[in-house]
Structure 1
Amino acid sequence: MTRKLEKLAFAAALLPFVMTLLNLGRLRRLPGLSRCGPVSVLIPARDEEETIREAIETVLASKGVELELIVLDDHSSDRTLDILRACNDPRLRVLQAPDLPEGWCGKTHACALLAEAARHELMLFVDADVRLRPDALGRLSALMLARPDIAFLSGVPRQVTRTLLEWLLLPFIHVLLLGYLPMVFDSGQKPALAAACGQLILVRRSAYHFSGGHAAIRNRLHDGLALARQFRTCGFKTMLFDASDIASCRMYHRASDVWNGLLKNATEGMATPRGLPVWTVLLGGAQIIPFLLPTTRVSRLAAGMTLLTRGLISYRFRQGWGTVVLAPLGTALLLMIQWQALVCGYLGHAPRWRGRSYPRRSV
């Protein structure tokens, strides 16, 4: 049995190690281009009193680009709407969402309404917890002007982590992306290889409406990934890039929010009856089992590949070396969340997020 576990650990660790080496050079940052065009910045907001003021301030501090900023308040129960109304900048428009229609998720409905209100050809959907640098909009729009073949551009901001669970779990955004998506085979047009980060998405209005926009993915929680696939299905090219030098994001501020937020997202992620056993073998085999096995040449190789993989990702995206050393613990917690989501889904217990229920859906 030990020999079989050693072979499993070696194979499971080798896959993300090789894939990460191939992918690190493909997830590039934006070039410093000069010519840029106008952008509509669109922010959906629900109970964002802790984040919304800084979000709009960083957008309005953008340099060298014409912009309009539209924020949609989605029935917030806190001071979000009051904070928005207190801003007097003429570039800002504040909308209020109607009741959520049947069959829609809150964010997709809010984004669809924002897109209807936007005036410019380039539309940037950005979460309220994302902070843009002053040159971000200019560089984003400049790339779209320089690359008319790209209809959908998504960036992964630098992930800010401060609490223990943030620190252990959120680095998996990059681990899963770089370690398990074969970017080397992606031309930007295959739906099965689509990747995106819903925190920051720039689209062309014409392609957005042709593809059906958020209405075509109205019941999806992973809106970024679903929208990228929808664009590709309709024949458009999408691109993912490293946005860590132009944007940052702190997704959660409390440990309970980390757990519940990932639990909600799990219903459309790994936590499927067929997918989760495979992910348990892949992640557990690579990042847990090598550190539990007796010390042998094979187990040391497996553990070394895992630590090197996590180290490369941590160095590139400034995640901290502690996340490398504690990779087995973080992996165990991530898998616990996925299994909790799957079991609770079968028992009819839907996760809740900001007052709304998110039952498991088939995807």
Structure 2
Amino acid sequence: MIIVGFILFALAAIPFVLTLMNLSILSATPRHAPQGHVLVSILIPARNEAKNIGPALDAALGSMGVPVEILVMDDGSTDATPDIVRAYAARDTRVRLLTAPPLEEGWTGKIHACHHLSEAARGTHFLFVDADVRLGSDAAALLAGHAQATDSGLVSAVPRQIMITLGELLTVPTINLLLLGYLPMGFMRLSRDPGLGAACGQLMLVEREAYRASGGHAAIRSRIHDGIQLARLFRRKSIMTDLVPGQRLATCRMYAGFDEAWAGFAKNAHEGMATPVALPIWTVLLFGGHVLPFMLLPFVPILPLACAALLSLVTRTLVTVAMRENPWSIPLHPFTTLVGLAIQWSVLLRIGNARRAGWKGRLYPVGEKS
């Protein structure tokens, strides 16, 4: 059991060390103002977003430091989404309402909407934003400035995640744990390796010519998770991508409860962890480093297990504090990790609702192109 304890300690130490390194790298990331002629097109795909679209537009219209235009693509909404956008457009010429054409065969819904938004945009940079994201006043300017200063074709950030219900706390904190604890950002910034490509589809800025050279959303038309897929696509085309701290650039409340959160994470799972090769490895890393020490420690109170459990909680604390997340994510950490793995395995094994993925009520068979 001593040997098992040391193995689990090593599995907990890996994300601890990477988190320390990544937080150091991110905190040292300089802030750059955009130079020369820059117009940021803020592009918002919207399907039944009546509750979100008004606050999203208010935040986007508060952008400072760079000229912006704001395009909303209404994609078959059956609520008041288009009416709300029309009212904003009547008051401010920076806002435009677009109507998505019928979904073409071989495309997924959000990717289709983003593609048509990019075709209508006039900016030098396109900032793709989900309707539940609230941009900070300097977000557009700082993302564009960073793209210019680092010659990055794509720059992304994870907004500060707002979590209120238990269901959100058991799902959403996994995002930043994976990015900070398992992505070597130092190597990411030195290499164009597609395997190191990562982005958050909630908040993603691309330089117009790099986006077009990569093929953009049209090149990933059958995919669902554009954050992962676009970053990898850019890197396959030898175009640099980067991640910057996002907790002060924007906020986002992704989901309102457990069922919604489970469905939301499940829809992207088969393009991330939930593959026959990747998921067993991720299960060893996450279950071994963040769950098993807590399960075994009451029955086998040995020092390596205690140190593993402590390191896991310290890692979660570092991520929570740095990303300004709900502090309840700390004591819930082992359960959150377990739920995250359960979502991934349910998708891989195609259990229940995990058989189908989708966007805002539009469903696609998991693992199929549609």
CA offsets per residue over residues 131-180 of structure 1, 9 Å max, x none? Answer: 11122222223333434x22111111111111112122211111001111
**Where does residue 141 of structure 1 map in the other structure?**
144
**Separation in 1, partners of 2:144, 2:272:** 31
- Shifted more, 3-12 versus 40-49: the winner is 3-12
- Aligned mate of 2:348, from 328, 331, 342: 342
Q: Trace 1:143-182 onto structure 2 (pairs within 5 A).
A: 143-147=146-150, 149-182=151-184
Q: Structure 1's 30 and 46: CA in aligned 2 closer, same or farther, altered over 3 A? A: farther
The answer (yes or no) to whether the contact 1:39–1:122 under 8 Å persists in 2 is yes
5+ residue gaps, structure 2, are none
Q: Which amino acid aligns with 1:164?
A: L
Q: Which amino acid aligns with 1:49?
A: A
- Shifted more, 194-203 versus 60-69: the winner is 60-69
**Where does residue 73 of structure 1 map in the other structure?**
74
CA offsets per residue over residues 243-282 of structure 1, 9 Å max, x none? Answer: 1112111111232211111121212222112222221111
Q: Which amino acid aligns with 1:31?
A: R
- Aligned mate of 1:113, from 102, 113, 116: 116
**Separation in 2, partners of 1:348, 1:69:** 34
**Where does residue 290 of structure 1 map in the other structure?**
293
**Where does residue 236 of structure 2 map in the other structure?**
233
Q: Which amino acid aligns with 2:17?
A: V
| Counterpart secondary structure, 1:156 | coil
**Separation in 2, partners of 1:210, 1:245:** 30
**Where does residue 210 of structure 2 map in the other structure?**
207
| 1:273 corresponds to 2:289 | no
CA offsets per residue over residues 106-139 of structure 1, 9 Å max, x none? Answer: 1111111011001121111111111111222222
**Separation in 2, partners of 1:320, 1:126:** 22
Q: Structure 1's 83 and 38: CA in aligned 2 closer, same or farther, altered over 3 A? A: same
- Aligned mate of 1:125, from 103, 110, 128: 128
Cα RMSD for the two superposed structures: 2.0
Q: Structure 1's 63 and 258: CA in aligned 2 closer, same or farther, altered over 3 A? A: same
**Separation in 2, partners of 1:270, 1:141:** 30
**Separation in 2, partners of 1:202, 1:216:** 17
| Counterpart secondary structure, 1:292 | helix
Post-superposition shift, 1:184?
2.2
5+ residue gaps, structure 1, are none
| 1:247 corresponds to 2:250 | yes
**Where does residue 31 of structure 1 map in the other structure?**
31
The answer (yes or no) to whether the contact 1:188–1:238 under 8 Å persists in 2 is no
- Shifted more, 178-187 versus 227-236: the winner is 178-187
- Shifted more, 284-293 versus 270-279: the winner is 270-279
The answer (yes or no) to whether the contact 2:33–2:65 under 8 Å persists in 1 is no
| Counterpart secondary structure, 2:271 | coil
Post-superposition shift, 1:347?
10
**Where does residue 47 of structure 2 map in the other structure?**
46
The answer (yes or no) to whether the contact 1:38–1:67 under 8 Å persists in 2 is yes
Q: Structure 1's 308 and 74: CA in aligned 2 closer, same or farther, altered over 3 A? A: same
CA offsets per residue over residues 185-215 of structure 1, 9 Å max, x none? Answer: 2215221111111111111111111110101
**Where does residue 56 of structure 2 map in the other structure?**
55
**Separation in 2, partners of 1:303, 1:64:** 45
